[in-house]
Amino acid sequence: MDRKKQFLMNMAYYGTIALILFLTVKYLLPVFLPFAAAAVIACILSRIHQKFFRWVPLSRKYTMLLLVTAGYGLIIGTVILAVKLFLPMTGDFLVKLPEFYQDKMAPAVEAVSDRIEQMAFRKDPAAAAQIGEAVDRILEKLGQGFTEASSGIMRSLPGYMAKIPALVIQWVVMIIATYFIAADYDQIIRFLKRNLPEKGWNLCCKVKKYGLHTIAAYLKSYALLMLLTFVQLWAGLWLLRIPYAGWISFGIAVFDILPIVGTGGILLPWAAVSGFLGNYSLAAGILILYVVITVIRNILEPKIVGKQIGLHPLAALISMFAGARLAGVTGLFLFPAALILWMNIRDETASRIKIK
């Protein structure tokens, strides 16, 4: 009976925590995300100031103003450069998407269906006719889908443009909050230490410790791996003379973030279809590209990411999926980072209990 009662109490405890986390992510995170991001950036800038600008003959407020301006200038400049690079390519790709389907994809699908029909005709001519009709319907649906997708994205652009003012306001609030937090960082830390209970302060210290080390290492490591994959894909697809190599490489590199699936989820089916259609040189080139990317990633990933992450691929996949469903793109990165943070705090607490 005691075990059942303990089980129910544990279920209620963890269920309450899960509910609080869900409500926080669903309703509070969008409101306080600019301030949370500002606090993280201010903490990083404060460390930079402490390490490199302590002896500068300027007050902390002026120095932090320069650091905040330089930091956000670098971020905004990178975003503008990325938009200039990818926006024309994206627009051209969307305009030519129906044409790309008619010239490239439809003939490939028809060639595959012809092969299947020929194989089926030898066994059962009636089945071959049914397969041909089914393929014709599929091609018609695919053509409509590509045309509707292209026009739908173009129609949705004004809606995305209408969200730009709200996004600009969020960025302005985040920049101002970053400056205020960074300028009075030490006073804010002292205020929290005085007013928080000891357990709350210890938890904040642990979150800060692992948040600035483990989670930063996680994000930086996988951003570097994503960039490395993107460069390899772009170079390989450019050598294979694939149109829109940069855009395709970017899409595959983003897809490569998903654990277990990786680049093979796109490159291997692509190589298989190319070989089935008789384009053996393209199939061989894509396979070689996949092998090179996989070998380099397997060599560099343990060194870049390190053993401190220690997150199983299945746990990463579940946390990323749940994060994406609950909080969109932010949750895709935030949930795995929060899981790593929780695992580190739990391990440290368990080790202290063992020592005692």
pLDDT digits over 152-196, tens only?
666 666 676 777 788 888 888 888 888 888 888 888 888 878 887
Residue 93 within a domain: yes
What does each C-alpha distance from 334 to 153, 232, 264 come to in angstroms? 27, 27, 25
**Residue 242: what pLDDT?**
86
**Residue 129: what pLDDT?**
66
Domain tally for the chain? 1
Is the model's pLDDT at 307 over the cut of 60? Answer: no
Mean pLDDT for the chain overall: 74
If you compute the radius of gyration of the chain from its CA atoms, what whole number of angstroms results?
26
Quick one: pLDDT band at residue 210, thresholds 50, 70, 90?
Answer: low
Contact 216/47 with Cβ under 8 angstroms? no
**Structure-model confidence comparison of residues 9 and 176, the more confident one:** 176
**Residue 251: what pLDDT?**
80
Residue 339 within a domain: no
**Structure-model confidence comparison of residues 228 and 274, the more confident one:** 228
Residue 148 within a domain: yes
Taking every pair of C-alpha atoms in the chain, what is the biggest distance, in angstroms?
Answer: 88
Mean pLDDT of 201-210: 72
CA 121, CA 128: separation in Å to the nearest integer? 5
Quick one: pLDDT band at residue 288, thresholds 50, 70, 90?
Answer: very high
> Among residues of the chain, what percentage have pLDDT more than 90?
3
Mean pLDDT of 20-30: 72
Is the model's pLDDT at 27 over the cut of 80? Answer: no
- Encoded tokens for 324: 């994406």
Question: Checking phi first, is residue 278 left (phi over 0); if not, alpha (psi -120 to 50) or beta?
Answer: left
Range of the structural domain that residue 53 is part of = 21-195
Q: How many other CB atoms sit within 10 Å of the CB of residue 71?
A: 18
Residue 302 within a domain: no
Residue 284 within a domain: no
* 95-119 residue pLDDT tens: 666 666 667 666 766 676 676 667 6
What does each C-alpha distance from 52 to 16, 46, 48, 256 come to in angstroms? 44, 10, 6, 36
Residue 234 within a domain: no
Is the model's pLDDT at 135 over the cut of 70? Answer: no
Residue 245 within a domain: no
Helices (H), the chain: 2-23, 29-52, 60-95, 97-100, 106-123, 125-162, 164-183, 185-195, 198-212, 214-239, 245-255, 264-276, 280-305, 313-355
> Among residues of the chain, what percentage have pLDDT more than 70?
62
* 244-285 residue pLDDT tens: 788 788 888 877 766 556 788 788 888 887 777 678 888 899
Residue 314 within a domain: no
